[in-house]
Structure formats: structure tokens, C-alpha cells
Amino acid sequence: MEGIVKGLIDLIFPPLCAFCGIPLAEDDEGEICPGCLRTIRFASPPICPKCGLPFPMEAGEDHFCGVCIQRQWHFGSARALGLYEGTMRDAIHLLKYGGKAFLAKPLVGLLDRGYPFIDYGSYDLLVPVPLHPKRLRERGFNQALLLGRAVGRREGVSCTGFVLKKARWSAPQIHLSPKEREANVKGSFAVVDRGRVRGKRVLLIDDVMTTGSTVNECARELLKAGAKEVDIFTLARAV
């Protein structure tokens, strides 16, 4: 009976692609249409085992990228689901700047299609990269928290937006060089609940990783507060 009712509802109101709004065909899986899906490039091996950067070649061993050969990161490893382009970029843009908070769930639904690289269940806690209170007021929500909660619900790991805060305002990073970005975020995050992170394996969540300076600074603070290990997961990697 339930199946018949659902069938009728789908007939009258066919499910729509969460990203572009066209009606989905019966055999489309998830909440995304084939057209939107085609524009998403999921990260797949070979990748840099440290920062997760996917290499353009299709085959070969994982190996350290040029940046990770030279630099010491605070986080253990970073992984992104896909590249910051196509539908992935458009949807993240709408989520952040278009107020489309509902997109967090279908974006996290894409985890099913990505390369399986994270054992979420092995983490004690998911921690989203926080927004400064002024930015939070402007936007109305923290997209990283929405993503973290969606990942947490899916994977059965708790997610909290109350352990890490953005204590100091930092200028938008978009036109800054990697070195300038590092200086810009230095000391701008603070752990407000040390008890919650002490001895814990933490997975830090954000929407996009660009140079890695923001997530690295968050990892530094969490480790300073006693976290045992901090890894990074972002939906997208800007290259």
C-alpha cells in the first residue's frame, strides 16, 4: 500500500534534481540528474596521500605532491570528494552565497559515488570549520556545520559546532597568495571546549580546501588543545 501511495505521489510530483530542478527519471539514483552528475569530477587515485590532491593521470601510484614534499602540515591527511568545478562548484556556491541550505544533504549524498577513502566510523568527532560571528549573522548558517551534520547522521558519528570558534576576523582570502593566507588565518581560531577534543580523533569538515591554510590552522589549534589526531574532509578541492 505504501508503495502504491509513493508511486502515485511520484507520478503527480516527480522528484526533481536537487541541483538543476529537472524531473528525475525512475532509474536515476539519488537526488541528482545524469547531466549534473557528468560535470562532477570525483577525486580518484592516484592522489597525494597527505593532502589528497588528485593527479591528472589516470593510472599510477599515489605519491606526494610538490607542496607536501616541502611543507609540514599539522593535520594527518586531507581528502576531498571531488574537484571544485562544474555542478560541485555551482552547488557549493548556491549553498554558501544563495542561502540554499537544503543543498547540504544532496551534496553529502554524493559520498556514495565518490572513491571510498574515509573510514568515518573511526573518528570520535566531526568538527566543522567555524565562521566568524559577523559572517554567521550575514549568512544565517554555517555551511560546514550543515555538511558535518549531514555526514554525521549518515555515518553515525557525532558532529559539534561548539568546540572550535573563529575568534578573530580575517580578511577574505580569495586574492591572497598561499603565504599571505597562512599569515591571515594565524591565531584566528580558538578551541572553546578542550574536554570535548582531548585524546580524540577528530575529522575536520569544510566545503572547499584551496591552499589548506585554514584547515591547517584549525588542526593546529585542535592538536594544541589535546586532540590525538586531526584529519580533514572537504567536499571539494580547488586546484
> Which of these segments, 4-12, 53-61, 159-167, 176-184, binds Zn ion (CB under 5 A)?
53-61
The residue type of 131 is L
User: Rule CB under 5 A: is residue 127 a binding residue for Zn ion?
Assistant: no
Find the binder of Zn ion among 19, 75, 123, 189 (CB under 5 A).
Answer: 19
> Which of these segments, 2-10, 17-25, 116-124, 139-147, binds Zn ion (CB under 5 A)?
17-25
Residues with Cβ within 8 Å of residue 183, at least 6 apart in sequence: none
> Which of these segments, 8-16, 31-39, 75-83, 138-146, binds Zn ion (CB under 5 A)?
31-39
> Which of these segments, 19-27, 71-79, 94-102, 225-233, binds Zn ion (CB under 5 A)?
19-27
x-or-dash string of contact with Zn ion, 54-73, rule CB under 5 A: -----------x--x-----
Residues with Cβ within 8 Å of residue 78, at least 6 apart in sequence: 50, 51, 52, 209, 212, 215, 231, 232, 233, 234
- Among candidate residues 114, 110, 93, the one with its CA nearest the CA of residue 43: 114
CB of 215 to Zn ion, least distance (A): 13
User: Rule CB under 5 A: is residue 94 a binding residue for Zn ion?
Assistant: no
User: Rule CB under 5 A: is residue 51 a binding residue for Zn ion?
Assistant: yes
Beta-sheet pairing, 164-166 with 125-128: unpaired
x-or-dash string of contact with Zn ion, 162-191, rule CB under 5 A: ------------------------------
CA 153 to chain centre: 15
Find the binder of Zn ion among 24, 48, 163, 230 (CB under 5 A).
Answer: 48
Find the binder of Zn ion among 24, 33, 202, 203 (CB under 5 A).
Answer: 33
Dist. CA 216–CA 51, nearest whole Å: 10
Residue among 37 and 197 whose Cβ is closer to Zn ion: 37
Helix ranges (H only) for the chain are 2-12, 34-38, 66-70, 86-97, 104-109, 133-139, 143-155, 178-185, 194-197, 213-224
The residue type of 134 is K
CB of 28 to Zn ion, least distance (A): 9
Find the binder of Zn ion among 24, 31, 36, 214 (CB under 5 A).
Answer: 36
Cis amide leading into 49 (omega within 30): no
List interacting residues with Zn ion (CB under 5 A): 17, 19-20, 33, 36, 48, 50-51, 53, 65, 68
